[in-house]
Structures are given as C-alpha cells and as structure tokens.
Amino acid sequence: MDKICSNASLVAIWLGKPFPQLQLGFEVIDRIYKVAFREVSRIIRAQQYDFTLDIGDIQDKYGLELLTNEEMEALMDVALAKKVGIVNGDSIMAVDKFGTVAAFLHVSGLCIAISHALARIDRNVDLLEGNFLFRAERIQILREWCLGDQSLWQELLPLVDFTAGIQNGSERGGEETVGLVLTKLLLWTIGFKATDPRDSVFGLWGIVRHIASTQHLKMPEHLRPSYDMSVSNVFHSVATEILETSGTLILLTLVKDPEQRSSTELPSWCPDFSSPLSSHPISGPQLKSVTPVKAGGHIEGLTRSLLPGVRGGTLKLRGFPLGPVQAIGERADEIEYGKFGKWVGILLEMEDTYPLTGQSAVEAFWRTLIHDQDLSSRPSKLVGTEHFRDVLLIQALGFVRREFAKNGAESIEKHIESWCGLDTLAKRYPGAVEGTETIRTYCKGKGFLPTLEHDIPVSEEESDAFRAKVFDNGSGLLMILSGTIFNRCIALTAGGHLAHASGSTIPGDEIWVLAGCPSPLVLRRLEPETDQFSLIGGAYVHGVMNGEAIAKHTKWRHVDLV
C-alpha cells in the first residue's frame, strides 16, 4: 500500500452518499481552513495552547464569522466524526483541510467552546467524541511527518515531541532501530480503530518501511504482515521486538485498563493496540515545551542487569514499590452524576501539606488529576486552585439542574446533604473549596429548593450569572481534564503518595517504579509472597515523575509481569 499510495496522483476517500448536513460541514471546514494553518503555526511556535473557550471570541481573535448552532452541530457531529466523506458530490476536498482544521479546533480550545455552546441549547456533545477530532489531527501530522521536506509543517514538526522524550538511537549513542520507529508510531496512533485488529499494527508497515529506507534500517522479517498470525501473536511479536530493541520501557505505559482490552489472550504487559483510548497517555506526544516524565530513569543510565528480559509470556524487570493503594476516588462518569464523596474523603485523609512537594493537599490533588501539565508546560502554570474549586462547582451545579428536572426538590436536598464533607474542606482550605451553602443558594435562586424565611432572596438571574461566572473560570481546567481524567481514578497509597491511576485500580493494588519506565505502574500481585504481578495500567504519581524516588541506596527488586 505504501508504494501504491506514494505513486498515485490522487487518493480519494468516499464513505457514503452526500447529505445536507455533510455538505454544511464541508462548507464550514472550508471557511475555517482559511485561518487554521496560520493559527496552528502561531500556537505551536509560541508553545502555548490558546484557551478560547467562548465561541463568541472567534471573530475578534481569529477573524472568523460566528458559527450558527446548525453549523456547529455539523462541524462536531459530521465534518470531523466517523461519517466524513472526503469526496463530496462531484468535488473533492483536500484531506489536509480536514486534518488542519481538526488541529486548529484542538490547540485553540474551540472544540470545547463549541461543545459548551451546544450544551447551552440542550444539544449535548460527549467530549469523548472528541477522540475522532484528535485522530483527524494526528493523521494529518503523521502525513506531514512522512512528507518530510515537502511538508508545509516542516518547520513546525521539530517543535512537537512525538515520542514523549524518547531519544533517537544516535542521541543515545547507539543506532536507530525499527523497534524505536515502531514505538514512535504506536505512541502517535494508539487507539486508532481498524476493522481487523491486526491492522492497527500492519497498517503502519508502509510508513515503517518508508522511514526505515530513509534511515537505512533493516526490516525484521518476522514483523512482516501475515494474516496467518492470530491477533494476540501479532501484538505479542511487536511488543517483544520493541521491548528488546528500543532501549525504553515506554511501551508498558500504553497498556490500557483491563476494562478496555479487547483481547484476553495477551500477557498483561502486552498492549492491545486495537482497543479504544479514553485519555491521553501519561507518556504521550506533546509540545516540546512540556517536560516529559521519567520516573524510572533511563535504561542506558543503569547497569545492564536492569535491562528487560522476555521469557515466553513473562517479562522480567527490576523496580521498587511506592506502596499499596489504600483508597481510590471516583471516576469521571461518577463525578458527572454528582458523586465525589471519595474525592472529598481522600482530601480529608491527607495531611494539610503534601510532603513530596510542599504544596497544599488541594493543590497536589488537582495537579495530580491533570498530571501537572497544562498542555503547554509541566509543571502547570496556567491554572490554579481557584479553577479546581470552580470545576467542583460546575459538576455540582450541572448535576442539581439535571436532578431537579428528573426527581424534584426532595432529591436535591438529599444529595446536598451527602456532600457535607465539602463544608469540612471549605473550613480547612478557605478559598480553595466552596461549601454546600453556596450550592444551596444557587438552587434557591433557580427554584430547585424553597427559600426559607431567614434567607437573603436570590433571583434566577443572579443564580444564572453565578453559574456563568463559575463556568468561565473553570472551563480551562475542564479542557485539560478532558485529556486526562477518563477511565482513570485518583488513588492514595498507604505511604501518602497521591496517584492518578488506571480506572480498574482497587485497594491493595501496588504502585511500582520500574527501571527505564517513564511513569509508575499499577501492579496486582498474583499470589502473596511472590514476585509475579499482573499489569493493570500506568499511573501519574505526584512528586516522583522526574525520578525523585530514585536514590543511590535504592534497592531494586525483581518483578515478573505475566
């Protein structure tokens, strides 16, 4: 396919007959494309995302006409979703326009602004659907990468870290390998869908061959696509090649939560490359301005005794534990339904100051949720504790609106009473958390709760204005959270480490730092008093992501992943 496509004068994509909403989507894309590349170039060169979270700002900020509700729906639901057809009637729109507009909507923040604008007219857009938009963006950048000197993005690509800090072979003092090239491509394409799961790897073969030929690398014959191999054998073969030749254990950070894995025949350490991706990998592509994580150091800086070894289905490594998980918090889907009692419980369990960083418990908590990055820098500089306060309020106010419409005032009162832990936090951290009285006041202004005789009257307009202010202040942090929070949960270890871990993490699981792995991992011990574990997934652990936990006296222990 690589030879066919590279020699073709035109590759056309047709996915169905044209229909009015699709046509409208094409028209909107054509309009936005006129400024998209210019603005993407500006943002990447500045190494700072725009946080354009109000759709009304696009005229002054980008010189674009305001989008109508119908146009926004077409853009989010059709033009950049699964039903896109590049062939439109008798004309063909360049695929580069789709990818460039997708990149613009992402790095500008307009994808969130459009979602919010549609939500105001009760046309909710699931932020998870943004994965289609991000795939369109990644396909475009991958295409530009393959174009090399012919790419319009030639000067921009060096400003994007495609590989989460992985060094090229020459930078490590060695040679580039096909395993390292594969690692880079899989980091960029993880979560892409394929009708045949094997094509999530085989589909990269043409690109790998193209890059290998330009770098004079020898292609391993055992990696050549063969549909006689089972899905599990394909994934296992590729994972083994990468682990043995790439010089990094970053592949382990791509192992998805057990709930997301499609294949049950793989060892726990082998990624299922075909299953969907809910959140951005902890060690994933990003702007060069974002410092990559390196909790486990680099293999090349450690003794050869720490190098990984693959024996059948067992991966033999070295590492040390940060401790067992003691408590876990709610996942994103639970937070959306007004359940954050476990979050509050963890904050109440923690000391006022997080010992690993010297920050308040609340600050350490929200920094953990966003992996201490704001899309432009690590540690995060663009958001603060007041934004986290308003994110909690956004979730609470959104929930009471939906709950009142469904079950009435009595249900609202019960839910607010269940949030009484917020009052304790508000007293403990003034200004960092709002108590339930603020939520009650909003509800009384909206008519969700009765106004009592001693209450100061609040109008519906005042409640709406309060919600709008909270929403505006918290939207930036919400935008960052949309890339980190799905299918993950906050976790507190017995030793006081705060982690954002794989969604299937349970109390008793252990968090380990493994030599050469950039992020800590959640492991589940198979039998007491053994060194055999099942890999549950990666974890961000606040205060150890730069290798702080590694010391000269660190005792590395044997770890067998099966």
Q: What is the pLDDT of residues 322-343, one digit of tens each?
A: 999 999 999 998 988 888 899 9
pTM for the predicted model, two decimal places: 0.88
Model pLDDT, residue 284 = 82
Model pLDDT, residue 127 = 43
Q: Report the candidate in 293, 290, 291 with the shortest Cα–Cα distance to residue 253.
A: 293
Contacts of 324 (CB under 8 A, 6+ apart): 493, 494, 507, 508, 509, 510, 511
Model pLDDT, residue 84 = 37
Say which residue the tokens 């995302």 belong to.
49
DSSP element (H, E) containing 192: none
Model pLDDT, residue 312 = 64
Contacts of 521 (CB under 8 A, 6+ apart): 252, 253, 511, 512, 514, 535, 536, 537, 538, 539
Is the preceding omega at residue 379 within 30 degrees of 0, hence cis?
yes
Say which residue the tokens 């190098």 belong to.
307
Residues of the chain with pLDDT under 50: 1, 4, 76-85, 127-130, 169-173, 300-307
Model pLDDT, residue 347 = 98
How far apart (Å, rounded) are the C-alpha atoms in residues 559 and 546?
A: 22
Q: Do residues 82 and 137 touch, judged by C-beta distance below 8 A? A: no
CB neighbour class for 201 (10 Å; exposed up to 12, middle 13-18, buried from 19): buried
The tokens for 328 are 């876990």
Alpha-carbon dihedral of residues 335, 339, 345, 347, nearest 10 degrees? 30
Chain centre to alpha carbon of residue 545: 17
Neighbours of 67 (CB within 10 A): 21
Residue type at 451 in one-letter notation: T
CB-facing half-sphere around the CA of 514: CA atoms within 13 A: 31
CB-facing half-sphere around the CA of 60: CA atoms within 13 A: 5
Number of DSSP helices (H) and strands (E) in the chain, helices first? 19, 14
Which CA distances in Å does 368 have to 281, 286, 538? Answer: 14, 18, 13
Which value, in Å, is the radius of gyration of the alpha carbons in the chain? 25
Model pLDDT, residue 174 = 52
Q: Do residues 97 and 33 touch, judged by C-beta distance below 8 A? A: yes
How far apart (Å, rounded) are the C-alpha atoms in residues 58 and 37?
A: 15
Model pLDDT, residue 72 = 61
Q: Report the candidate in 502, 110, 74 with the shortest Cα–Cα distance to residue 277.
A: 502
